[in-house]
Amino acid sequence: MTIGVLQSTLFGDMFGTAAMRAVFGEAAFLGRCIEVEAALARAQARLGIIPAEAAEAISAAAARLAAEPARLDLDRLKRETATVGYPILPLVRQLADAAGPAGRYLHWGATTQDIMDSAAVLQIRAGLELIEADLDAVRRHLAALARQYRDTPMAGRTHLQHALPVTFGYKAAVWLAALDRHAARLKELRPRVLSVQFGGAAGTLASLGAGEAALRSTAELARELGLAEPAITWHVARDGIVETVQFLALLGGSLGKIAFDVMLMSATEFGEAAEPFVAGRGSSSTMPQKRNPISCELILAAAKALRQQAGLALDAMVSDFERATGPWHVEWIAVPEAFGYAAGALHQSAFMLGGLIVDPKRMAQNLGMTHGLIVAEAVMMGLAPHTGRNEAHDLVYDACRAAIEQNKPLADILLGMPEVAGPLGAERIRALTDPANYLGAAQAMVDRVLGGR
């Protein structure tokens, strides 16, 4: 039985993805720990710290366990982990048994957190590769929407009310620009988080000697794993790990904003967009007409869960002295779940945006439902050079009230006002009250976001 949606048989592929579960699953974590132990042995053999034949035997034993995970006695590992409180010593015992006499050189100069942190960094590296690929896919979908609907007018809304006209391409480009920034953040954070952890009991590598001689093990281990070598042990300075979780939460927030917009646009009263049609998707058990925005709902839930993981990770930064008594354990919860929810949100976003149904006719209908009131500002600014801004504001304000009360188009009211019709004329009033003529720099902004794409 499972607890939580990410590993759930029912919900696992709705809130997460199989690929991310493979990266952060228990088997993957144990495999990464074994990978780090074997890499440490090879690195130290090159430095002459342990015999070369010992490193070969340890690497061979690790390879056998990787090829046949069933060789690990998981029941024994579970019992001993519960006793010790950490899985590394129990894991080292089994790996040492598998390596034979060479096992005495396993875990040389290392401590539990060295192995677990380095294993976690390897998982994060693989997880970020999946996030980047899915993020790029979502950005491509948004770029296509921004390009296709660059000139499609719709009502811009503030406080859920008509504000000024925009285009749907502009809206999509706003979403895209945020995800472009997240793509840049992803690249920028990698050098800060993808570094090896190896410091021994208190981080000073004292068991391996002094000065640069001790540091050679860290450098060689980093090279073996393809990770950066840190200037100093970071086992109680968790900013790199925490930054990764904050990045995932930021990404989730932006995806949540997109989902919230699309969900509102798909409401019956708006009808401007809808998730891709799949027979039976979003059905109600009692209302046959329903087509609920399932992907949007899942994305919003993931964004909220990611916010909570971000808070947990921040708590884990506050640790005591040279080995945390508790905060580190919080990362074991926050990091895998953050990657799981972020992957799920991206997966749902790619599906939703890749097949988004857009209704320009309904957008035009909604844009015209206030009979030109949405461009009252345009009339005011057009009239201001003739009357002054304050008087223009008052005249257009009165016209808007009359249009609402009489349920008439704003243009008709304005044409009946000599103070307005006189200086502007009928043709100019018709042009000013056409929402498609008051899009400002919306299209130019779309072009700037799209750039050379």
pLDDT at 284: 47
CA proximity to 177, closest of 452, 450, 453: 450
Residue of 261 and 373 predicted with greater confidence: 261
Q: How far, in Å, CA of 394 to CA of 69, rounded?
A: 78
Q: How far, in Å, CA of 298 to CA of 10, rounded?
A: 14
202: Cβ–Cβ under 8 A, 6 or more apart, which residues?
A: 322, 323
**Taking residues 186-196, what's their average pLDDT?**
97
Residue 84 CB neighbour total at 10 angstroms: 12
pLDDT at 4: 84
Q: Exactly one of 64, 71, 104, 284 is catalytic; which is it?
A: 284
Q: What percent of the chain has pLDDT over 70?
A: 97
**Taking residues 215-224, what's their average pLDDT?**
95
**Taking residues 279-302, what's their average pLDDT?**
72
Q: How far, in Å, CA of 261 to CA of 155, rounded?
A: 13
Is the pLDDT at 281 greater than 60, yes or no?
Answer: no
Q: How far, in Å, CA of 381 to CA of 383, rounded?
A: 5
pLDDT at 279: 63
pLDDT at 67: 86
**Taking residues 155-171, what's their average pLDDT?**
94
What's the residue count for the chain?
Answer: 453
Please write the tens of the pLDDT for every residue from 49-63: 999 999 999 999 999
Residue 147 burial class via C-beta count within 10 angstroms: exposed 0-12, middle 13-18, buried 19 and up: middle
**In the block, which residue shows the tokens 């799209």?**
450
- Please name the amino acid found at residue 265: M
**Taking residues 198-227, what's their average pLDDT?**
92
Which of 214-218, 244-248, 276-280 comes out lowest in average pLDDT? 276-280
Is residue 118 part of the annotated active site? The answer reads no
Residue 399 CB neighbour total at 10 angstroms: 27
Is the pLDDT at 288 greater than 90, yes or no?
Answer: no
Is the pLDDT at 176 greater than 50, yes or no?
Answer: yes
pLDDT at 285: 47
pLDDT at 8: 84
pLDDT at 322: 83
pLDDT at 92: 94
Is the pLDDT at 329 greater than 60, yes or no?
Answer: yes
Please write the tens of the pLDDT for every residue from 85-108: 899 999 999 999 999 999 999 999
Is residue 284 part of the annotated active site? The answer reads yes
DSSP 311-358: HHHHHHT---TTS-SSHHHHHHHHHHHHHHHHHHHHHHHHHHHHT-EE
pLDDT at 103: 94
Band (pLDDT 50/70/90 cuts) for residue 280 is low
Give me the chain's average pLDDT, please: 92
Please write the tens of the pLDDT for every residue from 375-431: 898 999 999 999 999 999 999 999 999 998 998 999 999 999 998 899 999 999 999
Q: Exactly one of 185, 323, 362, 428 is catalytic; which is it?
A: 323
Q: What are phi and psi of 149, to 5 degrees?
A: -110, 25
Please write the tens of the pLDDT for every residue from 30-82: 999 999 999 999 999 999 999 999 999 999 999 998 888 888 899 999 999 99
User: Which domains can be identified in the chain, with CATH numbers?
Assistant: 15-110 (1.10.275.10), 113-195+234-363 (1.20.200.10), 365-450 (1.10.40.30)
pLDDT at 213: 83
